[in-house]
A and B are shown apart, each in its own frame.
Chain A
């Protein structure tokens, strides 16, 4: 059974204080790992797809990396508007498009 574990559960940072969020996963074969951002009361917003170890993707202050066992979402010099819950999800490689989500990291950036 696929397992996705995110840490920490919650993270409070000062504005400009860089940090990383972790997503550890266990799957038989990885088709893709996805990062989403979710604001309270809204649906998840797509950020990145990673599907091979060593791959990196960047968008503004966010950078996602992937190894064979985990993914990191690095946030550089965050701003208050980066406050949200960040969700990681994996898709297994056997033709099923189903996503298995982690429980998320609730990020708060303090001005």
Chain B
């Protein structure tokens, strides 16, 4: 168990359009989901933490009006990149947090990622 899916796996769009990326936990419920972006040959940078039923918490430097996050259920979070520009082109990865039980820390399971290219 602990499978996380993302859709779409890749998307190409024109500058100025909006793109929505879905993240689903398929076999567990996730109170908390996370959104990361990753540039080539770099590590993952956390963009925001998403809690079901409440507003997302954004990391410093991430524009909340540009990257809209909705976590409407315990298995689905969405990231919408509004008015996308070429500099938004990146690999976006979500994760869902699953309880390990007891004193063990919760584990984040990652989706396969979405490659966004803005022309």
Chain B contacts with A in 95-117, Cβ cutoff 8 A: 95, 97, 100, 103-113, 115
Q: Which residues of B contact A36 (CB under 8 A)?
A: 110
- Whether B46 is near chain A, meaning CB under 8 Å from some CB there, is yes
Contact B105 A43 (CB under 8 A): no
A41 contact from B44, B110, B113, Cβ within 8 A:
B113
B113 and A31 contacting across the interface, CB-CB below 8 Å: no
- Across the interface, do B111 and A43 meet the contact criterion of CB distance under 8 Å? yes
Which of A43, A99, A103 has the most chain B CB atoms inside 10 A of its CB?
Answer: A43
Q: A99 contacts B46, CB within 8 Å? A: yes
Q: Confirm or deny: B42 has a beta carbon within 8 angstroms of a beta carbon on chain A.
A: yes
Minimal Cβ-Cβ distance residue in B for A88: B43
| Chain A minimum-CB-distance residue to B113 | A43
Interface residues of B toward A: which range? 20 to 34
Contact between A46 and B113, CB atoms less than 8 A apart: no
A7–B106 Cα distance when bound, in Å, is: 26
Contacts of A32 in B (CB 8 A): 104-105
**Chain B residues closer than 8 Å to A91, beta-carbon distance:** 105
Chain B min CB distance to A66 (Å): 13
- A residues in contact with B42, CB < 8 Å: 103
Which residues of B are found within 8 Å of A49, using beta-carbon distances?
Answer: 100, 104-105, 107
Q: Kindly supply a per-residue 1/0 record for chain A positions 48-61, scoring 1 wherever the CB is within 8 Å of any chain B CB and 0 otherwise.
A: 01010000000000
A51-B105 contact, Cβ under 8 Å, with A43-B110, A43-B111: yes
Report which of B93, B106, B107 forms a contact with A43, defined as CB distance below 8 A: B93
Give the residues in chain B near A97, CB-CB below 8 Å: 32, 34, 49, 97, 105-106, 108
Q: B62 an interface residue at 8 Å Cβ cutoff?
A: no
B12 on the A face (CB < 8 A): no
A interface residues with partner B (beta carbon < 8 Å): 31-32, 34, 36, 41-46, 49, 51, 87, 91, 97-99, 101-104
24 A-B residue pairings within 8 Å (CB atoms): A32-B104, A32-B105, A34-B107, A34-B108, A41-B91, A41-B113, A42-B112, A43-B4, A43-B6, A43-B95, A43-B111, A43-B113, A44-B110, A45-B110, A46-B108, A49-B100, A51-B103, A87-B44, A97-B34, A98-B49, A99-B34, A99-B46, A101-B43, A103-B42
